[in-house]
Amino acid sequence: MRLRTLLEPFLLILVIGLTTIYSSCNRDNPINSMADSKEKTFSCEPEEGVCKPSESAGIEEIQIDPASSKRKVKMIYYTDPICSACWAIEPQLRKFKLEYGEYVDIAYRMGGLLPGWEGFADKGNGISKPADVSHHWDEVGQHTGMSIDGDIWLEDPLDSSFPPSIAFKAAQNQGEELALRFLRKMREQLFLKKQNISKVEVLVRVLNACGGNEKQFVADYNRESTKQLFYDEMRQMEKYGVHGFPTFIFLSEGGKGFKISGMSSYEHYVQALESAYGDALVPKKITYSALELLAEYKYLATKEIAVALSQDESTTHDQLLELTANGKVKRDPQKFGDFWRYRGR
């Protein structure tokens, strides 16, 4: 069982500057800090089941079977619904999709961060039960700009991340677009609303909120073939040398892969994409205003909007407060920072 610091759901990634607080979920490196970052870094480790301060990695070249690569770069993203580091990189990942989405196809794969708590004890970090993890999540939410409420580990702790991972595979049967909405909504419910997404009734509620077909979802969720897809994805991690979450693998023609383990700088993602593509790429200009971005995505953190628009959070927050005063946006205060919901023009 791999759960030393159930930080994954607990630590995150915060990248930018010489000691950045970017969260990366990494089994091998308990401590990862970018050479040029200024804040604390976090990583989520499946073997330990937690997210903790970690070193932010650069780009690692790995050899991949040529048959698995495409001209339009395929990016395999290993993640987990309760990976706090994965939640923390949502702002950078959204910007990456907006700027470079036309050059890359992203395949989401589940890695199984937390099998369960049975027999787990991490005396070195003072963790022997779910409640011990609460302060880790609070630390991530406090420092990354993507709020997380660790109180769920005191009030209604998760037994495992396998149920929401299998649920994601079930949702994929209703289309990738719905599955990605479902993954995002699961994380919102977990990290912000303290909803236990290891419970089937919560998963069904989230699926319905995303407009999915409940009957099909429940049937798919209970199929052994759906569970097997999830287990197969976990087994495939060894092929790519995946030891933690998030891990991004960019596949090129000719069998080369470019892997980023844990949280890294935005520039590293661009470099890995260009290396796999074999040429310099021109990013698409992001022309959204804060209101237009919310109209497109409906519910975002101040940090997500600021990163997408390449502006500081203070400026972004002021813009959003003005939109709130005009009745176009609803402010949703969280434990560490604000989220914003689109209300219309």
CATH 3.40.30.10 fits 3-224, yes or no: yes
Q: What is the mean pLDDT of residues 211-237?
A: 97
Q: Cα dist. 93→46, 108, 153, 190, 207 in Å? A: 21, 12, 27, 19, 23
Q: pLDDT-derived band of residue 56, with 50, 70 and 90 as boundaries?
A: low
pLDDT at position 16 is 32
Judge whether residue 128 has pLDDT over 90: no
Distance between CA atoms of residues 178 and 217, nearest Å: 11
Q: Give CA–CA dist 169/222, Å, rounded.
A: 11
Least confident of 50-54, 239-243, 319-323: 50-54
Antiparallel, parallel or unpaired: β 48-53 and 42-45: antiparallel
Q: Provide the pLDDT for residue 65.
A: 58
Listed ranges 119-128, 132-141, 187-196; the one with the highest mean pLDDT: 187-196
Q: For residue 28, is pLDDT > 50?
A: no
**Residue 53: Cβ within 10 Å count:** 21
pLDDT, average across residues 191-213: 98
What is the reported pLDDT for 39? 54
Cα 301-286-263 angle, rounded to 5 deg: 55
Task: Kindly tell me if the per-residue pLDDT of 69 is higher than 60.
Answer: no
Helix axes 214-222, 200-209, angle to 10 degrees: 140
Q: Which fold has domain 290-342?
A: Arc Repressor Mutant, subunit A (1.10.10)
pLDDT at 36: 42
- Per-residue confidence (pLDDT) for residue 71, from 0 to 100: 66
Average pLDDT over residues 27-33: 35
Query: Quick check: bond before 246 cis, omega within 30?
Result: yes
Q: What is the pLDDT of residue 51?
A: 74
pLDDT averaged over every residue in the chain = 85
Condensed to tens digits (0 to 9), the pLDDT of residues 143-158 reads 999 999 999 999 999 9
pLDDT per residue as tens digits for the range 295-310: 999 999 999 999 999 9
If pLDDT is split at 50, 70 and 90, which confidence band does 132 have?
confident
Give 195's contacts (C-beta < 8 A, 6+ positions apart): 152, 189, 202, 206
Phi, psi for residue 109 in degrees, rounded to 5:
-130, 140
What does the DSSP assignment read for 29-74? -S----TTBBS--EEEETTEEEEEE-PPP-EEEEE--GGG--SSEE
Per-residue confidence (pLDDT) for residue 20, from 0 to 100: 36
Residue with tokens 């919901």: 341
Instruction: Provide the β-strand partners of residue 342.
Output: 329
Comparing 36-50, 198-212, 269-283, the range with the smallest average pLDDT is: 36-50
Nearest to 262 by CA among 1, 14, 5: 14
Q: Is the pTM of this model over 0.75?
A: yes
- Measured CA distances, 11 to 49, 216, 262 (Å): 11, 34, 11
More confident residue, 83 or 55: 83
End-to-end Cα separation, the chain, in angstroms? 50
What is the pLDDT at residue 121? 59
Average pLDDT of the residues in 178-188: 98
- Residue 133 is predicted with a pLDDT of 81
Per domain, the residue ranges of the chain are 3-224, 290-342
The mean pLDDT value for 217-246 works out to: 95
